Chain A
Amino acid sequence: MEQPVVRSVAGLTAEVVQPSGGIITSTLLIKGEVRGTEDLYIDGEVQGSIHLTNGRVTVGPHGKISADVDAREIIVRGKVTGALRGSERVEIGSTGEVRGNIATLRIAIGEGAQIHSKVEIARAENSQNNRAVAKSTGGATASTQAAAMKAGGENGN
């Protein structure tokens, strides 16, 4: 699922949400375990745990997560307190704030992101499991990790 984008028409703005995947909007609070296979966009509050092993979790700018998150790809633009395990990639946007350990293959950090955590990147020689996941999902392999991270670094951070 693509994350919602903001479109502006005649001075009015609206969030346009792509049809696939799930959405937890800013008015919702979920306590407990969230599990699934689709992508998930969270702009509300989640307390508990999130497991989307082959999916992407996007925490929107209003999102507030107190949970460990386990997913293929994790994008944070809101606040997360908990461990992030992205089997393929973790991105902390410029408005993102993370308190908890981050473990992934590749990481991108935006200018202004607040990270209070241990960042651990699985390296090629000890990331067999992650590579398998990345390959099966058509994602980048560990061998592209360094290049991808360098590319991430070119965005000014």
Chain B
Amino acid sequence: MASAGTPPVAAGAASKTGRQSNGLKEFLWQLEGIGHGHLLDLGPARQTTITFFIERGYKVYTEDMLATWKNFLDDEVERRKKLPVGADSSELAPEGRAKRFLETTMLYPDDTFDAVLLWDILDYLDTDLMTLLAARLTSLVRDGGVVFAMFHTRKPELFHRYRVLDAQNLELIPASCPFQPQRVFQNREISNLFGRYRSSKMFVGRDQLREGLFVK
């Protein structure tokens, strides 16, 4: 399970930083031919990001996956407390819990989305949910659709949220981290996770972030 973490951001110690993003540039290039598509943003709702894509004719769906997962886990704690002694708690185990979580969120028909902003959330989800989420995304993205994801090359010292500033730049916004980072993906693991996509491309930055672009 992803452990709730002490927020690894010291007040005043971190500030917003801009980041030139080749992944975003490529993502937008991939989307050029799609026109009025459907985009799913799995980060927190950000005005600039939403506006950016709406101005390009997209319908934007937002699901703050980490916040929703955190709320779900908080509810689970309460649920567990109310279970009678000796009751079957197998569904509270990580795999069952992840399944139940995905029964309550991301409830869209298959092939709904042309584009997904996954950001770096796979780094923070526990293995069961991370695997199931990646599979769910694969079914939600239509053929030809694109997923933009980020992966840390080593455990990040700070937790960031992201927003799109313009067609080439992202802003990294330090935030309180609901979970500790769970892993540092090997490239091979990423390839396996997105194995059903017809192409993938990675952009390695000097700031220990890899940007991944996956076209289904």
The interface of chain A, by Cβ under 8 A from chain B, is: 92, 107-109, 112-121, 123, 146, 149-150, 152-153, 155, 157
Main secondary structure of the interface of B (DSSP, over half): mixed
Closest to B71 in A: A114
The interface of chain B, by Cβ under 8 A from chain A, is: 44-48, 50-51, 54-55, 57, 59-64, 67-68, 105, 163
Q: A107-B50, A149-B54, A153-B51 are in contact. Are A114 and B45 (CB under 8 A)?
A: yes
Please, how many angstroms separate the alpha-carbon atoms of A155 and B163 in the complex?
Answer: 13
Please, how many angstroms separate the alpha-carbon atoms of A113 and B54 in the complex?
Answer: 18
> Which of A92, A120, A146 has the largest number of chain B CB atoms within 10 A?
A120
Closest to B67 in A: A114
- The 3 closest A-B CB pairs, nearest first, are A115-B45, A157-B47, A153-B47
Contacts of A116 in B (CB 8 A): 62-64, 68, 105
How many CB-defined contacts (below 8 Å) exist between A and B? 57
Q: A114-B67, A119-B61 are in contact. Are A146 and B55 (CB under 8 A)?
A: yes
A119 touches which one: B54, B57, B64 (CB < 8 A)? B54
Q: A123-B57, A149-B54 are in contact. Are A155 and B62 (CB under 8 A)?
A: no
Please, how many angstroms separate the alpha-carbon atoms of A5 and B23 in the complex?
Answer: 45
Known: A109-B46, A118-B60, A149-B55. 7 other contacts (CB 8 A): A107-B51, A115-B64, A119-B45, A119-B60, A119-B61, A120-B60, A121-B54
